[in-house]
Amino acid sequence: MKIRFALCLIALSAAWQTHAADTGEDLARQWCANCHTVSGNSTQPMFPRLAGQQYDYLLQQLQAFRNKSRHDRAAHDYMWGMTAALDDATIEGLARYFSTQKPEPNPAPVDDALANAGKQLYQNGNPAAGTPACASCHGANAEGTAIAPRLAGQHAEYLTKQLHVFGTNQRPAAVAMQEIIKTLKESDIQAVTAYLQSVR
């Protein structure tokens, strides 16, 4: 009996050490690479780029998917199932790994005139419509802050989808964006997302 118990302890210890030895890259390959790539520089517009994203934001969003408080219908069926299998340590490891990866320039082409209009809106907002400058929360270079995600180099298609989501009840934690989206015309959305995709 004592021998069997000792063997169980050894097996559990080995399993824990194997899990503990997983690097962020190992975790990314296991859980995220199929959609976001190992480096987090997704090449598919439907999947967000995670490289260089703010650690706190990644942590929050993975937890929101796991507890089903983020209802983004375009992704939640998959992400709810995926994150249900993640413990706190794995979520923290993934958030830490992707936050330290180097963002690569987004090679997708953008219309220069559209991007320039988006730059003005991003940097200065539109006081007449009640739209604040995006830079006030997301940083001068869209690098993100402790309370707002990195947007630089993100796919315009993904950003457009998320801005439309803010007009619904699918992202209940994003109270500020639920108000801001009411001030944006579709042309504003197209312009600012084109600009953000081009930011390097």
Its pTM stands at 0.86
The third-level CATH classification (topology) of the domain covering 22-99 is: Cytochrome Bc1 Complex; Chain D, domain 2 (1.10.760)
pLDDT of residue 74: 65
Q: Are 140 and 122 in contact (CB under 8 A)?
A: no
pLDDT in tens, 140-170: 999 998 789 999 999 999 999 999 999 998 8
pLDDT of residue 72: 81
pLDDT in tens, 81-130: 999 999 999 999 999 999 999 999 999 999 999 999 999 999 999 999 99
Domain ranges of the chain: 22-99, 112-198
CA 167 to each of CA 5, 67, 125: distance values in angstroms, whole numbers, following the listed order? 57, 21, 18
Distance CA 21, CA 108 (A): 37
The third-level CATH classification (topology) of the domain covering 112-198 is: Cytochrome Bc1 Complex; Chain D, domain 2 (1.10.760)
Distance CA 200, CA 131 (A): 24
pLDDT of residue 13: 40
> Dihedral of the CA atoms 173, 141, 92, 178 (nearest 10)?
10
pLDDT of residue 5: 34
pLDDT in tens, 12-34: 344 334 444 478 999 999 999 99
Residue 131: strand, helix, or coil: strand
HSE of 187, CA atoms in CB hemisphere, 13 A: 5
Q: Are 23 and 86 in contact (CB under 8 A)?
A: no
Q: Do domains 22-99 and 112-198 have the same CATH topology?
A: yes
